[in-house]
Amino acid sequence: MTDWVHITTGAGAAFLASLVEAVEALTVVLAVGSVRGWRDALNGTAAAIGTLAVLVLAFGPALAFIPLRIVQVVVGSLLLLFGLRWLRKAILRAAGVLPLHDEDAAFAKTRAEMVGGARRGFDAVAFAAAYKIVMLEGIEVVFIVIAVAAGGSGLMIPAAVGAVSAAIFVVMLGLIVHRPLSRVPENTLKLAVGVMLSAFGAFWVGEGVGVEWPGGDAALFALIAGFAALVVTGAPMARLAARR
């Protein structure tokens, strides 16, 4: 009886903790896929899952000794780099300083290319963004499984089952919500992705350099709101600057 309580508690804890990480990864993969195309976003996701599987098989519990802070600073900086650049362009477009994309034409072209599988070239940005987010969140899931497994003997398999169940649940969630997401105009999506990449990038860079976020992980919501507020204030400000 005690064993079952131990096992179900371990699996449940791993499931819930992994669910949070998987949803974070899903959010960015969905956003990047909608803007840059699904093929390379999904390829990046698959490549990250493959890399993680190889790492887990090769190193196992030794993964716990990889300094997460270094990963957070490197990945966070790259996300910030992309995010701030997209946000800057989105603000300038919203202000009319840069021309808007012809969204209908661009969306139709992208969809036609994707449906026909005729999209030329490799979208390194979509691949890298999806790869990085899935790698980072995946490493955190591996840490969660190892931490839960350390709570008692025989907990490794229940913890791993909990984590894998969370991943499957989130993939199913992604299949349901990706279609409604594709109807949102591209410029709006780019703006939203810029906000999210900047917020996640700032959060991880902060974690990496040792910032103790007030409210813990909930600070992410404050960062998202903060960067969104920048768009609201930045667009009229850019309009004003352009008139002067």
Residues interacting with another protein, by CB under 8 A?
Answer: 77-78, 80-82, 84-85, 87-88, 91-92, 95, 97, 122, 124-125, 127-128, 198, 202, 205-206, 209-214, 219, 223, 226-227, 230, 233-234, 237-239, 241-242, 244
- Closest to another protein by CB, 15 vs 227, is 227
Closest CA to 78 of 200, 195, 189, 183: 200
Minimal distance in Å, beta carbon 40 to another protein? Answer: 9
- Closest to another protein by CB, 28 vs 87, is 87
Minimal distance in Å, beta carbon 32 to another protein? Answer: 13
- Closest to another protein by CB, 166 vs 190, is 190
- Closest to another protein by CB, 17 vs 235, is 235
Give me the sign of the Cα torsion angle 102, 104, 105, 107: positive
Minimal distance in Å, beta carbon 68 to another protein? Answer: 16
119 torsion bin: left (phi>0), alpha (psi -120 to 50), beta (else): beta
Minimal distance in Å, beta carbon 78 to another protein? Answer: 7
- Closest to another protein by CB, 111 vs 239, is 239
Minimal distance in Å, beta carbon 209 to another protein? Answer: 4
DSSP letters along 187-235, please?
A: HHHHHHHHHHHHHHHHHHHHHHHT---TTGGGHHHHHHHHHHHHHHHHH
- Closest to another protein by CB, 117 vs 210, is 210
Give dist(CA 68, CA 59) in Å, integer.
Answer: 15
Minimal distance in Å, beta carbon 119 to another protein? Answer: 15
- Closest to another protein by CB, 10 vs 234, is 234
Structure tokens at 39: 């093929």
Give dist(CA 139, CA 145) in Å, integer.
Answer: 10
| Biggest CA-to-CA distance, the chain | 75
Minimal distance in Å, beta carbon 71 to another protein? Answer: 15
Contacts (Cβ under 8 Å, ≥6 apart) of 32: 41, 126, 129, 130, 133, 193
